[in-house]
């Protein structure tokens, strides 16, 4: 089968489009004929070797933790059934014609969109869902600031915060403002020209890398008893005002994915796909990410 792998850590040039052996199904696994995966920043971090100590992987490694495809064999699903899933980060990913997935992480794919586009769902939506509903515990009538809402996770987070009944303030760059508006943000701050200084908020979701002073400024915006959830840089708690901070890590959850798929099919959750590329162009996608020119989710079609 064709796959993209990196044999050593480094830049996008380490990604090789090559012939590899098709994987063999083991106990509890499902073999999936991949139709699509998508780019996530963590793919670049693995490729560059930034996570080699925290999350060790074997080389050569196939990236791509988002999976959309059809079942070839394995327990729990019918042959040909369309599925999606968030693959284990330590195992080979979905940037290949076939991929292995633990059966328990898979959910039925949405029927209302092309299957390859469904690869834009797992990691981004699960991160946003868990940040908004589990970690922030957002409730109707509360105010939330989503810092970095212009990225793929941010658009989903805005929509889920709206579903929770919250007032959503979002930061974005000019090229992402329209997408954030379509996602439903009540207020949008162009962080390239305007300082973030809204009225006090009940929660902050930070989706960016920032210095210690910037993170402290975000904590200062939160009302006493509130919370900052971050997928990017950590922040110190404000114990005097009982503002807690959480550095979150997304987990695979098939039940949550099933609920999210239902929303996609019902038309109540909007996907923001910025571009689609064939598998052979994956290195180019990594280059564009490094240059900061990707917007929305980038789908890799197999």
- The CATH number of the domain holding residue 156 is 3.40.50.720
Same domain, 76 and 184: no
pLDDT exceeds 80 at position 106: yes
Domain assignment present for residue 51? The answer is: yes
The pLDDT tens digits for 12-26 are 999 999 999 999 999
pLDDT score at 194: 75
Alpha carbon 128 to its chain centroid, in Å, reads 8
Same domain, 134 and 224: yes
Domain assignment present for residue 253? The answer is: no
The pLDDT tens digits for 50-67 are 999 889 999 999 999 999
pLDDT exceeds 80 at position 270: yes
pLDDT exceeds 90 at position 151: no
Band of pLDDT at residue 89, cut at 50, 70 and 90: very high
Domain assignment present for residue 255? The answer is: no
Same domain, 166 and 77: no
Same domain, 13 and 109: yes
Same domain, 217 and 279: no
Q: How many domains does the chain have?
A: 2
Residue-number span of the structural domain to which 149 is assigned: 124-247
Determine what percent of the chain falls in helix, strand and coil, rounding each to the nearest 5: 30, 30, 40
Same domain, 201 and 135: yes
pLDDT exceeds 90 at position 88: yes
Between the CA of residue 16 and those of 72, 91, 202, what are the distances in Å? 25, 18, 46
Domain assignment present for residue 266? The answer is: no
Q: Is the pTM of this model over 0.85?
A: yes
pLDDT score at 265: 98
Same domain, 88 and 166: no
Q: What rounded mean pLDDT belongs to the chain?
A: 95
Same domain, 91 and 172: no
Nearest alpha carbon to residue 283 among 129, 128, 63, 71: 63
pLDDT score at 193: 79
Same domain, 197 and 172: yes
Beta bridge partners of 259: none
């Amino acid at each position: 089968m064709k796959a993209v792998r990196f044999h050593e850590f480094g830049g996008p040039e380490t990604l090789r489009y090559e012939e590899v052996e098709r994987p063999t199904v083991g106990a509890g696994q499902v073999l999936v004929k991949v139709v699509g995966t998508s780019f996530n920043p963590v793919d670049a971090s693995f490729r560059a070797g930034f996570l080699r100590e925290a999350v060790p992987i074997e080389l050569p490694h196939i990236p791509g933790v988002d999976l959309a495809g059809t079942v070839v064999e394995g327990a729990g699903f019918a042959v040909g059934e369309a599925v999606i899933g968030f693959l284990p980060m330590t195992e080979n990913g979905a940037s290949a014609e076939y991929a292995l997935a633990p059966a328990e992480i898979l959910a039925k794919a949405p029927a209302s969109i092309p299957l390859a586009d469904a690869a834009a769902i797992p990691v981004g939506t699960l991160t946003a869902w868990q940040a908004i509903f589990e970690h922030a515990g957002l409730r109707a009538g509360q105010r939330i600031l989503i810092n970095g809402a212009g990225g793929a996770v941010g658009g989903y987070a805005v929509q889920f915060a709206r579903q929770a009944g919250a007032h959503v303030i979002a930061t974005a760059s000019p090229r992402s403002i329209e997408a954030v508006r379509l996602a439903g943000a009540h207020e949008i701050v162009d962080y390239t020209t305007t300082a973030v200084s809204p009225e006090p908020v009940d929660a902050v979701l930070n989706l960016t890398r920032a210095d210690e002073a910037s993170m402290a400024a975000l904590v200062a915006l939160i009302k006493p008893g509130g919370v900052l959830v971050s997928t990017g840089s950590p922040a110190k708690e404000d114990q005097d005002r009982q503002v807690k901070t959480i550095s979150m890590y997304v987990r695979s959850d098939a039940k949550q994915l099933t609920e999210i798929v239902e929303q996609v099919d019902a038309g109540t959750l909007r996907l923001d796909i910025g571009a689609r590329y064939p598998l052979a162009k994956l290195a180019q996608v990594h280059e564009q990410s490094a240059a900061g020119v990707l917007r929305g989710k980038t789908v890799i079609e197999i």
